[in-house]
Amino acid sequence: MALLEEDHAFEIADAVLAASDADETEVTINCVEDRFVRFGHEGPTQSADRERYDLAVRVRFRDGEGYREARASAASLDEASVLGALGRAEILARVASPDEAAVPLGGPVEVEGSAPSRPTQDHSFKEKAEWIEAALVRCEAESLHGGGLARTTVTSRSIVNSAGRRVHGATSRAEFSLTCADGGADAETIGGSASATSVRCFVDQVDVDAVIEDAVTSAVRARGADDLDAAPMDVLLEPQAVAALLTFTCGLGFGARSFHEGSSFLTGRAGERVFSEQVSIADDPAHADLRGLRFDGEGSPRRNHPLVSSGTAHGPVTDAAWARRLDLPNTGHAQAQPSTAGPSASHLVMAEGRFSREELLERLGDGLLVRQLHYVNVVEPRDLVLTGMTRGGVFRVNGGEVGGAVGNLRFTQSLVQALGAVDGVGDRATRVGSLMGGELVAPAILIRGFQFTSKARS
């Protein structure tokens, strides 16, 4: 199977539109080709060579009270499955309650097209095995247990609706990640451990050697961690740690629904200074490290959209319905519709600052260098009070010099307050992900008085 070409996808979608009895119909076709090998210290543990389709039909019947709307989907593209999905959507929509707030489907738009990367699509298991063997050999040389993921994925999405909208795009993604730790139970709490990852748009951009070197040397350095009591401390957060925090701003902070409900830090503060003036954040699907689709879940165009400029907040991101409801422009941040979730920023880019890593460490003076944060979650959304753990190496910094490792710590910290206490932003941003999902581009940042509240071993 290959990803569907634009013409083929539009042909399938057009057949659904032709068969639909609804007043408005939208067809979304997603295709995925995915190959991965997951490995532990004894070698590969899982792998998959797989593909899937997802065709979703959204239908709407209009009457004097508004739109009656529903969606159904199928994982097969044969006529019976596709028409089955259409039929289910129509049945659901006919009995749905009318939605007065719904707006008509959007018409034709121009969006920048994109094609999958052939080398990424063709990257083989044999080539992934070479990455993994190099990592395992290096880990074994340092008596570390290595584990991680080698993965290449290409996707395409096509949206066609009865109002004349026809958009199509493709993305590519390649990843190599390595986590290494001393073996045995509790290895990360009592021994050395670290992880590193390279997530890029194209497979030839993945720097496997750098990932291995970073993870292994950091894990070795993290051995023999001292016990450190939790207390507020100045910290230099590496990009992976920054990503674990910023990902919570996407829907809860910048989304129109939470903004409207009053559960966002943006509520009542658009146009005001909310963070340090060193903090600028945009949503930019065209960023060279992301290369996301240039349209949202309704097929509306998405472009570089500023969210915070030099610490000052702009308004929330919207979709068609929320834009009308709040009398704001449609910023192109719809999820697949209909949805209760509300719009969300999904291509966050935190702007690079002016400090090199050495300058950031010097500026930090005495504090902690944190490589990664784990299992971060929201305690209170209004001020984005978050809690989570450090992971993968926490090091003392004394007089700007990186010193020995300390044990993992839990933090309970308002992200709004933390981003207000940023005292330095690194000059190199990179694409990183987090356990709770999503990927974004972030630099290292220096935060004063980060609130650590307990330690892993008590």
Partner 1 sequence: MVNPTASKCAPHSMEALAKSAVDQAMARGADAADARIVRCAEERLVIQNDALRESDAPEDFGIALRVFKDGAAGFAAAPGPYSAMKDSVGGLVRRCLASARDLAPLRRVPMRLAGRADGCGEYRTPVKEDPFTVSLEEKLGLLMNASERLGGRREVVSSLAGMSLRREEQWMVTSEGGSTHQVLVRSGGRIEAVARARGVVERRSYPNALEGDFRSGGFEVVRALDLEGNAERVRDEAIALCHADVCPPGERTLILGGGQLALQIHESVGHPTELDRVLGEERDLAGGSFAGTSDPGSLEYGAECVSFVADSTVAGGLDTRGWDDDGVESGRFDIVRDGQLCGFQSGRISAGRAGAAASRSVSRAEGWYAPPIDRITNVSLAPGHGSLEDLLAETEDGAIFADTIKTWSIDQERRNFQFTCEVAWEIRGGRRARLLRLPTYQGSTLDFWKRCDRVAGPEEWRLWGVVNCGKGNPMQVAEMSHGAAPARFRGVRFVDIASRLP
Q: How near is the Cβ of 147 to partner 1 at its closest, in Å?
A: 4
In angstroms, what is the minimal distance from the CB of 239 to partner 1?
A: 17
Q: Which CA distances in Å does 140 have to 41, 43, 106, 137?
A: 8, 12, 57, 5
Residue with Cβ nearer partner 1 (66 or 306): 66
Q: What angle do CA 291, 39, 49 make, to 5 degrees?
A: 60
Q: How far is the CB of 358 from partner 1 (least distance, A)?
A: 30
Least separation in angstroms between CB 346 and partner 1:
17
Q: How far is the CB of 12 from partner 1 (least distance, A)?
A: 14
Q: Measured from the CB of residue 37, what is the shortest distance to partner 1 in angstroms?
A: 6
Q: Which is nearer to partner 1, 70 or 446 (CB)?
A: 70
Nearer to partner 1, 264 or 331 (CB): 264
End-to-end CA distance of the chain: 53
Q: Hey, which residues does 368 pair with through a beta bridge?
A: 235, 396
What Cα–Cα distance (Å) separates residue 196 from each residue in 146, 219, 350, 385, 443? 11, 10, 20, 27, 15
Q: Least distance from C-beta 352 to partner 1, angstroms?
A: 27
Q: Which is nearer to partner 1, 275 or 355 (CB)?
A: 275
Closest to 292 in 3D by CA, of 149, 444, 157, 165: 157
361 vs 422, beta carbon nearer partner 1: 422
Shortest spacing between CB 258 and partner 1, in angstroms = 9
Nearer to partner 1, 21 or 401 (CB): 21
Q: Which residues pair with 434 in a beta bridge?
A: none
Q: Which two tokens stand for residue 317?
A: 């991101």
Cα 295 to Cα 301: distance, rounded to the nearest angstrom: 4
Say how far apart CA 133 and CA 43 lie, in whole Å. Answer: 8
> Within 357-447, where are the H helices?
357-364, 415-420
- Cα–Cα distances in Å, from 306 out to 281, 295, 398? 6, 17, 36
Residue closer to partner 1 (CB basis): 46 or 143: 46
Angle at 115 between CA 112 and CA 117, to 5 degrees: 140
In terms of DSSP H, where are the helices of 142-285? 187-190, 208-221, 239-246, 256-261
- Comparing CB distances to partner 1, the nearer of 210 and 288 is 210
